[in-house]
Structure 1
Amino acid sequence: MGGLFIIALLALVAGVGIVALIETEPGYLLIAYGGYTVETSFWVGILLIATVVLLLYASLRFLHRLITSPANVLNWAGERRLRQSARLTSRGIINFIEGSWAKSRKQMLRGARYSESPLLNYLMAARASYRLQEPEAMRQHLVKAAESDLEAIIAVDLTQAELQLNDRQYEKALRTLEAAKKNPNKHPQVLSLLCKAYDGLGDIEAMLTLLPALRKYRIGGALELDDLEARIHHDLLEQAAVTGDAALLKARWKKYPARLLDDESVQLHYLSSLLVCDEVSTLEREIEKRLKKSWKAALVSLYGRIPRESAPKQLATAESWLKQHANDPELLLCLGRLAMVERQWAKARDYLERSHAALPSEEACLELGRLLTAVGDHSTAAEVFRVGTGLRTNPLPELPQPDDVVADSLPETHRIESP
């Protein structure tokens, strides 16, 4: 601090001395060249000469560096281009997210010119072209992406497969994923895309084969994978039921995950599939066995819907359930149907009326109504049908009916004259 003060003091003294010297003795400088002359004071001339010398020195030094070190200039220019490329890439990503596809693609391609790694630029440009529905441009950008980094071919394939799946080109996507699926350890995303492709093609068994790998590499959350597993096994049963292959249906049921077997909807789906495959005896045994363990109204309802030519044993079995479920409307409806199979019309009517009294339902009303119609009790049947109509999930709107219309409002051709 003290040294700096001394230097400042000396500079101040020197400045004062120079100013005093200039004022007492300004001097005289004359420069003549040809027909031109320059006159000035000595001190101003010295200052001008010093300025010219410094400028000349700086120019010569710059030229020397330019000649001897061109790499410095090139590095500076390269760094500037890289910064510009980074800015363009950043803006391109932002515009892509915001939905400005054309603008994003333009910025991505400009940024790719000077980028050391243009792979991302070309991939994003391909996605933007897809959004713009320009498949040829998309293909060209994917080709450039592959050429820009030979080690990133899989990344290019995954991008192409994803875009193909979005267009529901499932077979093309599978062909695109051939190379990537050989090493899911390095490319786990391929498993997710394969699953979507198999799902689109309806290849349920291939999805089931893929499921362990999806869990191993944690493709999706645990709940998501559990839902996928449940859907796969549900569809496998459905597929077997559609073909009517009872043996295949039973084989697939044996492989059903144990943790899903307690689900009532799963059990009902399997039993309904047995009905579709015409496995009547197996279905009856399964329902009776399950009802002994746990009473479920849906199983009772299905038991009454099984087509039979006769049902004395089934009627007796269902009547034994009345001891513990005397007022169960589903059981009473089931008994009514079984009694109708046995042509015991009075008993069937009694059971159906008791079911309707216990809990009116559309199904019970329709069943009772058609029985009453068949035995000729039309007025009661009409009333039951009317009640059933009101119990529909989507009931009919309130509208005027013919009984409510006065005679003068009827057309002439529809009027009934009194005798």
Structure 2
Amino acid sequence: MSSWIRIIFLLILAVLLAVVLREHSGNVLIIAQPWRIELSLTLAVLLLIALFIVLHVLLQWISWLSSSPTRFRSWRGQRAQRKDRSSLEQGWIGVLEGRDQEAEQKLARLLARTRSSDTKVLAALALARSQHDNGRHAQRDETLEQARVAAAPQPKLQEAVAVVRAELLLDQQRADEALALLQPVYDANPKAFNALRLLLQAHWQLGNQAQVYECVRLLQRKGVLSAQEARPYIERAVTERLAQVDEAGFKSTWGDLKKEERLWPSIALGAAAFHERLAQPRDAAKILEAALNQELDPQLLSAYSQCPPDDVARRVAKAETWLKQSPNNADLLTALGNLCLKGQLWGAGERYLQRSMALRNDVRIHALLGTLYDRLGRSHEAMSHWRLAALAAGTLPVLHWDSVLPAADMRSDPGAPDALPDDAPRMSAPAQSWSAPEAASAVGYLPEESSYEEDVPRKPTSGSPLVDTSDDDLYFDSAPIPGIDLSQTSDRSDSATSAAGTSQDDISRTA
């Protein structure tokens, strides 16, 4: 549009000039001895215009010729810049695509030939990233040092180098070094949110939960960190703080939390544990109930079922209201069973635990049923559930129901008077069909139907003299303790000494 306006303006100017020259038909006389030149005014004006154009073109051409070296250097620089940019793009693309060898070759050549500090820094950072991914940390540090030197004149590039170096150090779990690099960057530029994110990770690795909480809150206020991303940081920081604060610190911490954050299971558990330490079970119950109204979390239910006996009735009534909404919640039924055990409500506790076991076969349910039946005097059922709990736990060796642990091998015990020779046959429990595991603590328990005494062969009573097996000393190590004189410790040593003397007399008489 502007070009059309200029053309119209020039046309109007030309028309006006033609009209003026037509009305003023004068002559121009130029006398330069011995010449006398006479021209019309119109011709003189046209010649002046033509002369101006020719001189302008001539001067422009002379200027262009004189600036040729500068323009040539600029052209070469632009060509090198385009080449460097292309190499940098290809190198970064290679790093991102995983073609590390080809990318590192291009970036190394670019780093060696380029004269641009910006390009050198960017190429060094890309090369350092590739070397870090391949585990060549020494070469990575050398490349980052080159980037730091190249970025010295420009603060923005120095910040970029520090942030990238800190990120790579955090990947190596070297959080203290990363923190030393990131803190000055954030102090100089509070809007460096990427540096603040990395500061959060550094404090998280170092376990500085107070600083973690501050960084998370800053990132949330700036809209950089979403609530879902911030939750694990807040949960851990607040939980550890609640485990250490006093009453004033608890009020400050609890008041700083949002309403929905107080209902998170880990935070509710930490707050409840704080009130339990201060012997305030009602306050702990209120916090747990508020969280359980939001979600019937198993950990919250387990903590809610741990209470003093005078608070059992109120908690059972509250838990039964949740049971109306979730009648098939095994964790809630287990918690109700545990509460009934604490309140000695044996019948209700058995019903709740049986319903829970029908939904899920769990170690804790069997353990609670075993405790319940043990208090009711139903030892056989209690032992059965305890065995099932041990079996479900999977931490004890699998043995037979109606067998005991095999006898200890005492052939190498120098203090055992009834030690058997090496070639004597070893006794073992009779082989039986497997049905369930048995804990080592239940060795003395023998069901009525057990035929242990009939199946297990006894030691012969004839032959060499044997010590009475009813003696409790056989269940202890009989080897002497180095450096201790048994004659000075107990009356047990006297009997041992007299027995030794009698044996020596018998040997001499026999000889």
Q: TM-score range by the shorter chain?
A: 0.5 to 0.7
TM-score by length of 2: 0.53
Mapping for residues 319-398 of structure 1, pairs under 5 Å? 329-330=333-334, 332-339=336-343, 347-360=344-357, 362-373=363-374, 376-385=377-386, 388=389, 392=392
* AA matched with 2:80: R
Distance 1:218 1:288 in 2: 31
Relative to structure 1, the CA distance from residue 395 to residue 84 in structure 2 (aligned partners, 3 Å threshold; closer, same or farther) is same
Q: Check whether the contact 2:305–2:336 (CA below 8 A) recurs between aligned residues.
A: no
Q: Which residue of 1 aligns with 2:132?
A: 130
Instruction: Report deviation, 1:300.
Output: 5.9
Q: Which moved more, 1:85-94 or 1:277-286?
A: 277-286
Distance 1:189 1:295 in 2: 35
Relative to structure 1, the CA distance from residue 167 to residue 316 in structure 2 (aligned partners, 3 Å threshold; closer, same or farther) is closer
Q: Which residue of 2 aligns with 1:193?
A: 198
Identity %: 18
Distance 1:71 1:129 in 2: 40
Relative to structure 1, the CA distance from residue 331 to residue 290 in structure 2 (aligned partners, 3 Å threshold; closer, same or farther) is same
RMSD: 4.3
Instruction: Report deviation, 1:71.
Output: 4.7
Partner of 2:137, secondary structure, is coil
Q: Check whether the contact 1:303–1:334 (CA below 8 A) recurs between aligned residues.
A: no
Relative to structure 1, the CA distance from residue 92 to residue 229 in structure 2 (aligned partners, 3 Å threshold; closer, same or farther) is closer
* AA matched with 2:114: Y
Q: Name which of 407, 429, 436 aligns with 1:414.
A: 429
Q: Check whether the contact 1:304–1:335 (CA below 8 A) recurs between aligned residues.
A: yes
Partner of 1:211, secondary structure, is helix
Q: Which residue of 2 aligns with 1:172?
A: 177
Distance 2:234 2:77 in 1: 59
Q: Which residue of 1 aligns with 2:81?
A: 82
Relative to structure 1, the CA distance from residue 151 to residue 107 in structure 2 (aligned partners, 3 Å threshold; closer, same or farther) is same
Q: Deviations over 1:154-175 (max 9, x none)?
A: 2222222222222222222222
Relative to structure 1, the CA distance from residue 100 to residue 273 in structure 2 (aligned partners, 3 Å threshold; closer, same or farther) is farther
Relative to structure 1, the CA distance from residue 379 to residue 248 in structure 2 (aligned partners, 3 Å threshold; closer, same or farther) is same
1:227 has 2:242 as partner: no
Instruction: Report deviation, 1:294.
Output: 8.2
Relative to structure 1, the CA distance from residue 372 to residue 230 in structure 2 (aligned partners, 3 Å threshold; closer, same or farther) is same
Q: Check whether the contact 1:362–1:388 (CA below 8 A) recurs between aligned residues.
A: yes
* AA matched with 2:340: G
Q: Which residue of 1 aligns with 2:97?
A: 98
**Which runs of 5 or more structure 1 residues have no equivalent in the other structure?**
1-64, 340-346, 405-410
Q: Check whether the contact 2:107–2:124 (CA below 8 A) recurs between aligned residues.
A: yes
**Which runs of 5 or more structure 2 residues have no equivalent in the other structure?**
1-63, 404-425, 431-451, 456-511
Distance 1:80 1:165 in 2: 39
TM-score by length of 1: 0.63
Relative to structure 1, the CA distance from residue 82 to residue 285 in structure 2 (aligned partners, 3 Å threshold; closer, same or farther) is closer
Q: Check whether the contact 1:82–1:115 (CA below 8 A) recurs between aligned residues.
A: no
Mapping for residues 8-23 of structure 1, pairs under 5 Å? none
The count of residues paired between Structure 1 and Structure 2 equals 333
Q: Check whether the contact 1:355–1:364 (CA below 8 A) recurs between aligned residues.
A: no
Partner of 2:224, secondary structure, is coil
Relative to structure 1, the CA distance from residue 332 to residue 155 in structure 2 (aligned partners, 3 Å threshold; closer, same or farther) is closer
Q: Which residue of 2 aligns with 1:159?
A: 164
Distance 1:288 1:109 in 2: 60
Distance 2:66 2:264 in 1: 83
Relative to structure 1, the CA distance from residue 147 to residue 284 in structure 2 (aligned partners, 3 Å threshold; closer, same or farther) is closer
Q: Check whether the contact 1:369–1:382 (CA below 8 A) recurs between aligned residues.
A: yes
Q: Deviations over 1:186-222 (max 9, x none)?
A: 53322212222222222222233233432354424xx
Relative to structure 1, the CA distance from residue 244 to residue 76 in structure 2 (aligned partners, 3 Å threshold; closer, same or farther) is closer
Distance 1:67 1:322 in 2: 95
Distance 2:82 2:319 in 1: 84
